[in-house]
Chains A and B, each alone.
Chain A
Amino acid sequence: MAARIFTPGPAPDPAAVDRGQKLFAPTCGFCHGPDGTGKSGPDLVASALVIRDNGGDLIGRVVHDGRPGKGMPAFPGLTGPQIDDISAFLHSRIRAAANRFAYSFHEVVTGNAKAGEAYFDGAGKCSTCHSVTGDLAGIANKFQPPDLQARLVYPGPSFPGFGGPPPKPPTAVVTLPSGETVSGALIARDPFNVTLRDGSGSPRSLPVEGTKIEVDDPLKAHKDLIDTITDTEMHDLLAYLETLK
């Protein structure tokens, strides 16, 4: 399904989250896991009661009285402000789970750089168009690893938050029914029209019908790569490009 763009409710106070986490891990973590995602006890980040809780109004009772039937002991000694802090910590975890565009990556670069270098110069044919001392010099400084990995397969659109310029457009030569040819950067193409930016810099839209269109796509090698590159080769190539700092 689609992306959630926002998370409900105000963000909890970071100081309270920090105090709550320090309290939660030793007090509740044995059963619910140090991060609240469950061990022998339930996952509190996915708990409807915790999600509906507002400043400890629902979890306070459970913490204070326990759930004897379900094996949850009572914690009558925890004060109101301490329960507020635990609530703040758990709500920060729920917000983090709900906001998927802020998820952080782990261990993206796992490949073998040497194997990646061999692929770059060999089977991948990357060196046909690219040079590690030329256009790709310092490439690892320009992109974060997940963005670079997607782009090494296909340099498509920029990903939000990851930067990077759009890819160069293909060029096309359009031969009109009259025999006249028009060439330039291919700006847009749909089933009925082709739009070129010609030498004068202005866009020119031409009907497709009856014309011959020859496209020179600098990304054709990348399009082909999608069907041939293995995940291991992709990881190795990323590891190699990550050495280009």
Chain B
Amino acid sequence: MKLRVSSFALSMFGLTALLAAQGLDPAALLKQPTDTWPTYNGDYSGRRFSPLTQIDASNVNTITQAWTWRATRSPGAPSQASFGSAVKATPLEVNGILYFSEPDNVWTVNARTGKEIWHYQYPPNDGLHIGSRGVAMYGDWLYFETPDNYLVSLDSKTGKERWRQQMADVKLDYFSTMAPVVVKNHIICSVGGDTLDNTGYLEARDPDTGALQWQWFTEPRPGEPGAETWPDAGAMEHGGGMPWMPGTYDPELNLIYWGIGNPNPVHAGSGRMGDNLWTDSIVALNPDTGKLVWYYQNTPHDTHDWDSVQAPVLFDAIFDGKPRKLLAQANRNGYFFLLDRTTGEHLLTAPFAKTNWSMGIDPQGRPIMNPAKVPSHDGVLVCPSSNGATNWFAPAFDPAAGLFYVLASDNCSVFYLTAEGKGEGFAGRDFELGSGHDALRAIDFKTGKVAWSFDGGAGGGLLATAGQILFSGSQGGYLAALDPATGKVLWHERAGRSTNPPMTYELDGRQYVLFGVGDSLKAFTLPGK
């Protein structure tokens, strides 16, 4: 990231020369980054579309591994319990340095060589160590969330801890995994955990002190709009809705977009009759106030663990003859949704994976739950499974091809209600049949139709580039590059199982494509560059 503190930025944020030349000016994020990857999704849009073109369709089959980095921990460091070590985070790349995390760990690595610069180890704790999506950067400071729900700020040059602020109580079984998102002078962070029946929330915190700026709860309070979608205050207060994945931002509209998690108790709906807003919804909030501007609910009254946390991807295009500011999401419930992101107006709903739970689409574009497919004591066969038609794996959008890419699964589960009465926690179980297959699917955003499908596409996510390449992992432990228009494989290498969304950057005239493969990062470049 080349630092340019514009007068606009100075007036907008009151920034001073305090933002040293090594750091990341948050105002720079308002423009499309070119050769860097300064946020979780690379930019605010969530498209994971890089303008870099050095590696292109004609030469991608010649790329080779430039370097590998492998996680090492000091002896006696806490293990990740039963989860093992895996880079699920998308590294940031700023000024030649990569910044990324696993639960309790942050690393910086030289982006040219793969040599480790520093490693920060957070103390052992009781939080669930399932994953860490990455870090955020503001000036010279890094931010990340811990399994026991602290937002920690580090000095990006040294890895020295500056402060930590508690977001939630680990005793209540909250755990935190999200990569925070920097919007102007707000560090937007969130909590997760649906084992016990807690309420979800998003927070904005001060970049310098970590002090709370605002908190937005994913359920209304009694008497507020949306409360009519719950039977009582207790159900709302314990209604779940964890916003556990990073959202996106439109600087022109000054709106952040977040996907909200599933309601609690997860599989038992009898104690929470109603639509259960704002669980399983896409919400648009004002980042300065935390006030809700609009919402769109993808799965009313969910009982299948189909959270809506998949990236709300932003792009501008003509739809039905009219230029629109659009928001697209391939949802865990098996349907692709297209909305107008200015107003939340619904434009399109179409399935992209195997589904059998809906009786049709209602006038607002929401699939209508078949009441016979709600978990029962004797079990119901439902597609998608509880893992969903997709999950946290990053999607991508290629504006040239007009296609939205998603890692999809056609699996089904037998869902059981185990609770008697209203239930607590999950209140049910499901048996995934393991019969289906995974695929990388390309969805035409104008029609919702699947344009092509690459059977066996799998991994932590996708990356599209202006070099007309789509990067993915695949079954069998491959990394692959595909033609974004047709799905034809242009390159594949058996370099390991993709565990994170790939990203790309350019340094000294050399483009790198970086994959997380288990406990390693692997960087690929063109030979001789």
Contacts and interface: CB of A to CB of B under 8 A. Distances in A.
Given A1-B305, A43-B234, A222 B435 contact: yes
A86 B218 CA distance: 32
A108 B242 contact: no
A226 B435 contact: yes
Contacts of B307: 1
B466 to A, nearest CB: 25
B381 A226 contact: yes
Given A43-B424, A94-B196, A223-B435, A51 B172 contact: yes
Contacts of A111: 378
Given A37-B422, A153-B414, A156-B435, A106 B377 contact: yes
Contacts of B457: 191
Contacts of B434: 154, 156-157
B476 A48 contact: no
Interface stretch (A16-24, A97-105, A176-184): A97-105
B420 A106 contact: yes
B378 A229 contact: no
Interface stretch (A2-10, A63-71, A76-84, A126-134): A2-10
Contacts of B172: 48, 51-52
Contacts of B197: 46
Interface in A193-245: 193, 219, 222-223, 226, 229, 231, 234-235
Contacts of B435: 154, 156, 219, 222-223, 226
Contacts of A104: 418
A146 B425 contact: no
Given A51-B196, A156-B434, A191-B474, A45 B424 contact: yes
Contact of A193 (B421, B427, B476): B476
For A190, A219, A229, which residue has the most chain B Cβ atoms within 10 angstroms? A190
A153 B433 contact: yes
A109 interface: yes
B508 interface: no
B165 to A, nearest CB: 19
A191 B412 contact: no
A188 B476 CA distance: 8
B244 interface: yes
B228 interface: no
A169 to B, nearest CB: 13
Interface in B433-450: 433-435
B238 A146 contact: no
A42 interface: yes
Contact of B454 (A147, A149, A191, A222): A191
B178 to A, nearest CB: 12
Interface residues on B, range: 35 or more
Contact of A150 (B196, B420, B424, B431): B431
**Per DSSP, are chain A's interface residues mostly helix, strand or loop, or mixed?**
loop
Interface string A129-154: 00000000000000000110110011
Given A103-B426, A108-B416, A154 B433 contact: yes
A171 B428 CA distance: 36
A175 B130 CA distance: 43
For A6, A48, A93, which residue has the most chain B Cβ atoms within 10 angstroms? A48
Contacts of A222: 435
Interface stretch (B60-68, B187-195, B250-258, B520-528): B187-195
Contacts of A1: 192-194, 242, 244, 261-262, 305, 307
A159 interface: yes
B378 A235 contact: yes
Contact of B379 (A43, A93, A108): A108
Contact of A159 (B170, B426, B431): B431
B378 A191 contact: no
A127 B326 CA distance: 53
For B421, B433, B474, which residue has the most chain A Cβ atoms within 10 angstroms? B433
A150 B414 CA distance: 6
Nearest to A152: B414
A100 B195 contact: yes
Contacts of A46: 196-197, 234, 238, 424
Contacts of B193: 1
A109 B433 CA distance: 19
A55 interface: no
Contacts of A37: 421-422, 424
A192 B195 contact: no
B379 to A, nearest CB: 6
B7 interface: no
A193 B474 CA distance: 11
A33 B432 CA distance: 34
For B238, B431, B475, which residue has the most chain A Cβ atoms within 10 angstroms? B431
B372 interface: yes
Contact of A103 (B242, B421, B428): B428
B320 interface: no
8 contacts: A51-B172, A51-B173, A100-B425, A100-B429, A147-B431, A149-B379, A192-B489, A234-B414
In the complex, the 7 A-B pairs of residues with the closest C-beta atoms, listed nearest first: A190-B476, A156-B434, A97-B424, A150-B431, A191-B456, A100-B426, A97-B425
Given A111-B378, A191-B478, 14 more contacts: A8-B171, A37-B421, A43-B424, A52-B172, A93-B424, A98-B196, A100-B429, A153-B433, A154-B434, A156-B434, A190-B478, A191-B475, A226-B433, A229-B381
